[in-house]
Amino acid sequence: MSSGPAAFFRSVPRITSVLDTLRQHGFGDVLVGGPSWPEPDRVRAAVEELGLVYVKFGQVLSTRSDLLPDRYLAALAGLQDDVSPLPASDIHAVIHDEFGTDAHTLFEMFNDEPLGSASVAQVHTASLRSGARVVVKIQRPGLGDQLSEDLLVLAHLASLAEVTLAKLRPFDLPSLVREFKQSLEAELDFGQEAQNIRRFRRQLADDARVWIPDVIDDLSTARVLTLERSDGVRLEEYVKTRPDEARLLARRLGGLFVRQVFRDGVFHADPHPGNIFVMDDGVLCLHDFGMIGGLSEPMREALVDLVEATVSGDARAATNSYLDLGLVPRDVDRDALEDGVAKLVEEIRGQPLADVSVGRALESLGRLGGRYRIRNPGAFMLLSRAFVTLEGVLARLDPTVGFVEMFPPAFTESVQMRISPTRLRRDAVTAARALDRLAREAPDDVRRIVRRWGEGAFGRVTVVPDSAQVTRAARSERNLRQVRSAGVLPRAGAVLLRGASVWVEAGGIVLFTAGTLALAYRFARG
């Protein structure tokens, strides 16, 4: 569905309906810019009445402790999208639309009774001609048009709130809705979930302690996903019969998540007990990869630095690491933020490490940053909520097991990766390229600055937003940032101390020196 003026006018009836529903549930004062919000239970009731898109958006907001008070988070966290099962005829119609034939032709056996039913899809058990047992996830029919309209309406409402409700502007609702739209569209694309599953299988292929059911490609499409069926049972059921394995499973599960976060950069974002099974031999089995989180390499490194600074009590380093994660307004009060971080660090250091909740600490940090209009990345808040969820699972298995004790091996590996020969070579090349770009573009800008200085025109500089000069200046500043972030020389020193191969350091120094000489030469020519 398009998002132009015509689409807006087509959406007016739905927008009116949504606003009317909000008004009936106590949002009248908020809608005219007032301060009085309805009670959390009324907010939840309004969201549930508005339907699937708003329920899903409410679930996203329930993870955003940087935006909402705890009592609203608790109310929205209880939102469920379980619905009544569809009749078998509707399910068979979707399968026929996707494959051009019926389920009983595709499968040796297809159970018309659903294993589970939710707002997006319904799950059935089946078996292949080979006898292999599978589960089939079938998307509910007609979701596409319905969701497209409501997503468009939600985007219009977010833009309206941005203009009319000044108190909501720091939350940047339009950006939040855009992120949500991308996430929901990915959830509706079972082909994307299949890719997620394959990625996790590749990443964890060397770990015999975990198994992830594979995708049956020939029987999967954008609306139907067929997977191997595990013989495992839910985690809590397994532990009831084998309580002596609880501590081992807690450490294994925690270590698996830490590896996903700090080594692989892709983590299961919904690790609730219903998605964790255990096989007869104690092997973990993970399910449901519709919601995953992704962390870039700089984000992973900033997280490592953040945790290390917090544990060591260095509030300034912790503040800098946190700022490396988010989008920071130019006028942020860094001193006030650092004071807040220092209080949080002291609070954490006052607890035994086994009692520290990593998830709650990240949520508190995100909430603190939100007060200073720092935009916390969605992945950061998703990670904090995943930590909280999994910490609850670990506590039920063994209250003495905590995440902090699992961090050192992951952090050691992170440091080794930062100073590895491969990483050093890559950073050296990045720095050399940035220096070369800087050398080619900076002299002209410097000459212009010096000339205007000599003319006494510095106080009358006019910046044209889209001018070529501004573009070049921005590129120059970015190049300098890349040189600094690459950190070639400090890392080269670290590698020397660790006895890495000489040719790597030499290569890095040669590249760095070549870039520096090129810069000097170009300035001399200019």
Active site residues per annotation: 270
Helix, strand, or coil here: 462?
A: coil
How many angstroms separate the CA atoms of 479 and 4, rounded?
A: 37
Q: How far is C-alpha 481 from the chain's CA centre?
A: 24
How many angstroms separate the CA atoms of 211 and 196, rounded?
A: 14
Asked whether 358 and 411 are in contact (CB, 8 A), the reply is: no
How many angstroms separate the CA atoms of 249 and 260, rounded?
A: 16
Q: Which two tokens stand for residue 244?
A: 């002596």
Q: What are phi and psi of 233, to 5 degrees?
A: -125, 165
Q: Which two tokens stand for residue 63?
A: 């993870």
Q: How far is C-alpha 79 from the chain's CA centre?
A: 20
Q: Which two tokens stand for residue 39?
A: 């009670």
Of the candidates 324, 357, 295, 482, the residue with the CA atom closest to the CA atom of residue 316: 324
* C-alpha distance from residue 457 to each of 425, 452, 468, 477 (Å): 44, 5, 19, 22
Task: Match 């999994």 to its residue by tokens.
Answer: 390
Residue 505, number of CB atoms within 10 A of its CB: 19
Residues 6+ apart with CB under 8 A from 412: none
Residue 27 CA neighbour count, 13 Å, CB half? 19
Hey, what amino acid is at 285?
C
